[in-house]
Structure 1
Amino acid sequence: MRAILMESRGGPEVLRYGEIETPRAGAGQVAVRVRAVALNHLDVWVRKGAASPKLPLPHILGCDVAGVVEEVGPGVEHLRAGEGVVVNPGVSCGRCERCLSGRDNLCPQYQILGEHRWGGYAEVVVVPQANVLPMPPRLGFPEAASLPLTFLTAWQMVVDKLQVRPGEDVLVMAAGSGVSVAAIQIAKLHGARVIATASSPAKLEAARALGADETVNYLEPGWSKRVRELTGGKGADAVVDHTGADFWQEVLRSTAWGGRIAVAGASSGYEALTPMAHIFYRQLTVYGSTMASKSRLFPILQLVSEGKFNPVVGAVLPLEQAAEGHRLLEERKVFGKVVLTVEG
């Protein structure tokens, strides 16, 4: 099969378009013919070696896949060849206490497709049957591929960790990212007033079109003061953040006394200075968050089917232009998802 192989760590140029043996579905597995695969910043971190630095090479990136069932292995009864499907990128053992209690993203053997195991920058990907769900009929493949990782991540942050309530002020950082596009919509569905940040007037306008009530440019010095102005001096009750070290102290200043912050990444750097008085004196709660339970994709896809959530696709490229897709992602030129399409 055709695939994009990561043969070393480095810039986008390490991604090579080539051929590799097509994987087959084993017992309890499903082979999915990829029609679209969405890019995530996780792909960039893996490529650079910041994430999973000991990963054997060559490797195939790609967390978020939409396609059609190509083949089912022994024991798979609920799927048939030709069905349109979305792939849940979180893979766990399915047997341990955490998996069986619905906390599979805390499984000791937890893996993310495209990070810890071969992913979707290819014509075919093989996953456990538990990771395959029907594709919402109202979506095309690029839109469906834009859903899983970002909406799962945002759902756990907004609903499970922050437990956002009606009437709360929720600050969503970097509104143009896939996670934040999802977080804005999820927070609005739960009755919040959303303040979104972005780095350009165009992205701020797009955030408003998506449902954000207020917007702030986080490249302006002291932008946290604007967040406080918009909240009557209080600050945000809850914050969705994945922007990293460069913005961390302003995030802290933007948060209300007794407020909550959920962190799911560190795009600008991992080592952030935290004045401890912000945490204990102002009684802030900081949650770490990675992905979500596989079960959360069921309500997400239902809400997408009902038209209450909409994926946002910012750019579509053919698979062989994966390196260009990475450049677009790193340069933050796109609002929403960058998606690679694979010809059938």
Structure 2
Amino acid sequence: MKTVIHTGMRGINGLQYTTQKDKLPGKGEVKVRLKVAGLNHRDLFLMDKRTEQDSPLILGSDGAGIIEAIGEGVNNLTIGTEVIINPCIGWEKTDQVPTALEILGGPTNGTFAESVIVPQQNAIPKPTYLSWEEAGVLSLSALTAYRALFTKGDLRQGQHVLIPGIGGGVATFATLMASAIGAIVSVTSRSDVKRQKALQLPIAQVFDSHSNWKEYLKTESIDLILDSIGPATFSKYFDVIKPNGKIVMFGASSGDEITIPARAVFFPQINIVGTSMGSSEEFIAMLEFMEKHTLRPIVDIVYPLKETALAFQRMERGEQFGNIAILID
């Protein structure tokens, strides 16, 4: 099968378009002939950490396609079923977070290939209203956004959520989901181009990440902040969040080391919560939520499989607005 592997060196330069031997699904597994896969920032982080000594790896966590083979013991899926892949393996119950999350595309081979083998419970019938491009980029970003907003953030109708760094997949999904329940959504970006694009989303306002946030929000205070940036913006959160508000962290694109002002946390009783990906229960709930509200992923651009490296260069430069898709079949 045609595939893109990462091997030989760190970063995007380690990507190679090549051919690998096809495999058959084992007990309890299904083999999915992929139509579309999706990029995530997680892939960039993995490539930057891998060394020349690491074995070749097929990256990619998101994907959608058609089941072309089933293993022994699979009784709830049939060949020909159109499915979307849940990339979080082995996390079934929402309140039972695994010690180590296993995610498709590292350490196990992922979706930048013509086919992928996954446990049967991770292949979910594709919502019929979604195109292949939309279904192929949905899983990881939408699942992360759903858990951050509702499981961890407990967002309610009428509350105000601030999403710094609009443009990435999780941020755009979170914007659409929050607006769908009647929450007020404000977003930020350093990029004027992205701020202009954000005006097409169901938001209350958008402003420069480097600006004085209090001037834009005026007397309005924030119930929930979704943080994927870390130290570059973290200190600003305490200027705008209301007492008993929540900061839900799911990323750290500007680095890992954060200085937390202790009194700004305990006097107004701010809740700082971590989250990452989501459970099988949440994945099903997320798909049902999206279908109920007819939400569609924002697809930034589509590249063919052999141009996966170009797709990652666009992501690395921070040019995307929404999700980048890889057309496989």
Which TM class, normalised by the smaller chain length?
Answer: over 0.9
Matched, 1:110 2:98: no
Which of 206, 217, 240 is equivalent to 2:226?
A: 240
Which residue of structure 1 aligns with residue 273 of structure 2?
287
Pick closer, same or farther for the CA change 1:8–1:257 going to 2, 3 Å: farther
CA–CA separation in structure 1 for the residues paired with 2:307 and 2:25: 27
How do 1:1-16 residues align onto structure 2 when only pairs under 5 Å count?
A: 1-16=1-16
Which residue of structure 2 aligns with residue 127 of structure 1?
118
Matched, 1:309 2:307: no
1:335 counterpart letter in structure 2: F
Residue ranges of structure 1 left out of the alignment (5+ in a row): none
CA–CA separation in structure 2 for the residues paired with 1:270 and 1:9: 24
Matched, 1:63 2:61: yes
CA–CA separation in structure 2 for the residues paired with 1:157 and 1:53: 32
CA–CA separation in structure 2 for the residues paired with 1:15 and 1:226: 45
2:63 counterpart letter in structure 1: V
Pick closer, same or farther for the CA change 1:102–1:161 going to 2, 3 Å: closer
Q: Is the 8 A contact 1:137 1:305 kept in 2?
A: no
Which residue of structure 1 aligns with residue 81 of structure 2?
83
Which of 220, 225, 234 is equivalent to 2:214?
A: 225
Matched, 1:148 2:155: no
How do 1:6-85 residues align onto structure 2 when only pairs under 5 Å count?
A: 6-49=6-49, 56-85=54-83
Q: Is the partner of 1:210 in helix, strand or coil?
A: coil
Q: Is the 8 A contact 1:136 1:304 kept in 2?
A: no
Q: Is the partner of 1:240 in helix, strand or coil?
A: strand
2:20 counterpart letter in structure 1: I
Matched, 1:330 2:316: yes
CA–CA separation in structure 2 for the residues paired with 1:310 and 1:15: 30
CA–CA separation in structure 2 for the residues paired with 1:254 and 1:115: 37
Pick closer, same or farther for the CA change 1:12–1:264 going to 2, 3 Å: same
CA RMSD, 1 decimal = 1.9
Which residue of structure 1 aligns with residue 256 of structure 2?
270
Which residue of structure 2 aligns with residue 202 of structure 1?
193
CA–CA separation in structure 2 for the residues paired with 1:279 and 1:8: 45
Q: Is the partner of 1:209 in helix, strand or coil?
A: coil
CA–CA separation in structure 2 for the residues paired with 1:172 and 1:216: 11
Stretch moving more, 293-302 or 25-34: 293-302
Stretch moving more, 190-199 or 175-184: 190-199
Q: Is the 8 A contact 1:216 1:226 kept in 2?
A: no
Pick closer, same or farther for the CA change 1:252–1:324 going to 2, 3 Å: farther
Shift of residue 118, structure 1, vs aligned partner: 1.0
CA–CA separation in structure 2 for the residues paired with 1:72 and 1:109: 27
* CA-to-aligned-CA distance 1:181-236 (integer Å, 9 cap, x gap): 1111121122211111122333223323221111111133xx3223541xx1x521
Shift of residue 276, structure 1, vs aligned partner: 1.8
What is the TM-score when the length of structure 2 is the normalising length? 0.94
Q: Is the 8 A contact 2:10 2:52 kept in 1?
A: no
Which residue of structure 1 aligns with residue 305 of structure 2?
319
Shift of residue 9, structure 1, vs aligned partner: 4.5
1:198 counterpart letter in structure 2: S
Q: Is the 8 A contact 2:94 2:278 kept in 1?
A: no
CA–CA separation in structure 1 for the residues paired with 2:210 and 2:300: 22
Stretch moving more, 199-208 or 332-341: 199-208
What is the TM-score when the length of structure 1 is the normalising length? 0.90
CA–CA separation in structure 1 for the residues paired with 2:4 and 2:244: 46
Q: Give structure 1 regions of 4+ aligned residues with deviation exceeding 4 angstroms.
A: 52-56
Q: Is the 8 A contact 1:227 1:254 kept in 2?
A: no
Q: Is the 8 A contact 1:235 1:256 kept in 2?
A: yes
1:138 counterpart letter in structure 2: Y
Residue ranges of structure 2 left out of the alignment (5+ in a row): none
CA–CA separation in structure 2 for the residues paired with 1:136 and 1:56: 37
Which residue of structure 2 aligns with residue 215 of structure 1?
206
Which residue of structure 1 aligns with residue 184 of structure 2?
193
What is the percentage of aligned positions where both structures have the same residue?
A: 29
Matched, 1:138 2:136: no
Shift of residue 301, structure 1, vs aligned partner: 2.1
